[in-house]
Amino acid sequence: MSLLPKSAKVDPNEIFDVIIIGLGPAAYSAALYAGRYVMKALVIGETPGGQLTEAGEVDDYLGLIKVNAQDMIRIFNSHIEEYNLPVILDTVEKYEKHGDLFVVKTKRKGEFKSKTIIVAVGVKRRKLNVPGEDQFTGRGVSYCSVCDAPLFKNREVVIVGGGDSALEGAELLSRYATKVYLVHRRDVFKGQPYYVEIVKQKKNVEFILNSTVTEIIGEKLVKAVKVKNLKTGEEKTLNVNGIFIEIGFEPPVEFAKVNGIETDSNGYIKVDEWMRTSTEGVFAAGDCTSTWLGFRQIITAVAQGSVAARSAYTFLNERQGKTN
């Protein structure tokens, strides 16, 4: 089983029933269901697995106990290969409506035509926007504890955030680093209480709550992080070798704007319960959508992907019915 889906040559004149934009769990699931509804589907995405590539072990996907995230991507690839769906590794820049068809423009591989679209483009990592962050990215500043934790063996680190990513990250880092400071801007956690309890039991993790990072200091590499208590105003400097910023994600505002899709006040793509967007024939699924109040899990993304594919199928059938 491969980490990359089988690449395919696609005739640019072919008209697809659905083009699925993205390659995370929502996109894989949409592809699977498009296959099961015998739709002529094309998947165009950048990174097979999407955010799953940054996960270590997944233990909250029903039926798969403590599965390695890379293995999960391999399973997803094998599953969609059963339906012989073409996958193109590329970036979709935009799509345009020409009559009843959408023309999808990619960065490198040209244009492709489709009757419907499923947008499953995911989200982008949020930044702290403090002095030193850009300067030391890759030199002590990391956005992915799963990817970089082993680099900080026997070192001291800060991890910022109060969601599942930061909590999971703190747990993982505690296995490598001698000291982990978990800096969170509130004293209540957004992440699952299960993770909070696990992290609290780690002797080398210190919680610095109601606090925010104000500056990242270093020379060639990070040497210290300045933290401010939001209640008392007190500032202190933590002498650490690294800082992990795990403070959530930003919606694909630009993609939505370029393609004229309506978003909610936070910038997430608005969908109804059938994953229909504001544009007829365009559906959306996964982390990029406004659904379920930010509860973004692999299993919820996968559920939305299946619904989006089913809706695209229904849409095409209804349109076919009208023209008959």
* Complex with ligand NAP: residue 138 or 293, whichever CB lies closer: 293
Sole binder of ligand NAP in the list 163, 218, 286, 305 (CB under 6 A): 163
Q: At its nearest, how many Å lie between ligand NAP and the CB of residue 159?
A: 10
- Burial of 179: CB neighbours in 10 Å, binned 0-12, 13-18, 19+: middle
The region of 147-155, 161-169, 256-264, 316-324 touching ligand NAP under the rule CB under 6 A is 161-169
Contact region with ligand NAP (CB under 6 A), list: 19-27, 182-190, 229-237, 260-268: 182-190
Stretch that binds ligand NAP, among 27-35, 101-109, 114-122, 158-166 (CB under 6 A): 158-166
Q: Which is nearer to ligand NAP, 276 or 296 (CB)?
A: 296
Nearest to ligand NAP of 295, 322 (CB atom): 295
Question: Binding to ligand NAP by residue 251, rule CB under 6 A?
Answer: no
212 binds ligand NAP (CB under 6 A): yes
Of 124, 139, 179, 185, the residue at the interface with ligand NAP (CB under 6 A) is 185
Which amino acid, 208? I
What lies within 8 Å, CB to CB, of 189 at 6+ separation is 162, 163, 167, 195, 196
Please select the residue that binds ligand NAP; options are 6, 94, 153, 186, rule is CB under 6 A: 186
Among 17, 148, 164, 171, binds ligand NAP (CB under 6 A): 164
Q: How far is CA 130 from the centre of its chain?
A: 23
Q: Decide: is 132 part of the binding site for ligand NAP (CB under 6 A).
A: no
Beta strand spans in the chain (E): 15-21, 41-45, 57-58, 67-68, 87-89, 92-98, 101-106, 111-119, 124-125, 141-142, 156-160, 179-183, 205-208, 211-218, 222-229, 235-238, 242-245, 249-250, 282-284
User: With respect to ligand NAP, which residue has the nearer C-beta, 47 or 212?
Assistant: 212
- Residues 22/23/24/26 CA torsion (nearest 10 deg): 60
**3-state secondary structure at position 7:** strand
| Alpha-carbon distance values, 298 to 64, 118, 260, 267, 271 (Å) | 12, 17, 27, 21, 18
SS3 126: coil
Q: Is 310 in the site for ligand NAP (CB under 6 A)?
A: no
Footprint (CB under 6 A) of ligand NAP, residues 66-85: none
DSSP annotation of 163: S
- Residue (148 or 164) nearer to ligand NAP, CB: 164
Residue with tokens 């962050």: 133
Q: What is the dihedral of CA 125, 131, 136, 142, to 10 degrees?
A: -30
Which of 190, 202, 228, 270 is close enough to bind ligand NAP by CB under 6 A? Answer: 190
Q: Is 179 helix (H, G, I), strand (E, B) or coil?
A: strand
Q: Counting contacts by CB under 6 A, is residue 214 touching ligand NAP?
A: no
Query: Looking at the DSSP assignment, which residues form a beta bridge with residue 98?
Result: 101
Q: Can residue 50 be called a binding residue for ligand NAP (CB under 6 A)?
A: no
203-211, 229-237, 276-284, 289-297 -> range binding ligand NAP (CB under 6 A): 289-297
Alpha helices in 21-176 (DSSP H): 25-36, 69-81, 145-148, 164-173
Smallest distance, ligand NAP to C-beta of residue 179, A: 20
Q: What mask, x for binding ligand NAP by CB under 6 A, covers residues 220 to 249?
A: --------------------------xxxx
Give me the residues that bind ligand NAP (CB under 6 A), please: 60, 126, 128, 160-166, 168, 185-186, 190-191, 212, 246-249, 294-297
